[in-house]
Amino acid sequence: DGGITQSPKYLFRKEGQNVTLSCEQNLNHDAMYWYRQDPGQGLRLIYYSQIVNDFQKGDIAEGYSVSREKKESFPLTVTSAQKNPTAFYLCASSDYSGEAFFGQGTRLTVV
Partner 1 sequence: AQRVTQPEKLLSVFKGAPVELKCNYSYSGSPELFWYVQYSRQRLQLLLRHISRESIKGFTADLNKGETSFHLKKPFAQEEDSAMYYCALRNTGNQFYFGTGTSLTVIP
Q: Within positions 44 to 103, which residues make up the interface with partner 1, using CB under 8 A?
A: 44-45, 48, 50, 58, 90, 92, 94, 96, 98-100, 102-103
18, 26, 28, 41: which one contacts partner 1 (CB under 8 A)?
A: 41
CB of 14 to partner 1, least distance (A): 29
- CA distances 55 to 11, 83, 104, Å, are 24, 22, 22
Q: How far apart are CA 19 and CA 90, in angstroms?
A: 15
Q: How far apart are CA 46 and CA 41, in angstroms?
A: 13
Q: Which residues bind partner 1 (CB under 8 A)?
A: 31, 33, 35, 40-45, 48, 50, 58, 90, 92, 94, 96, 98-100, 102-105
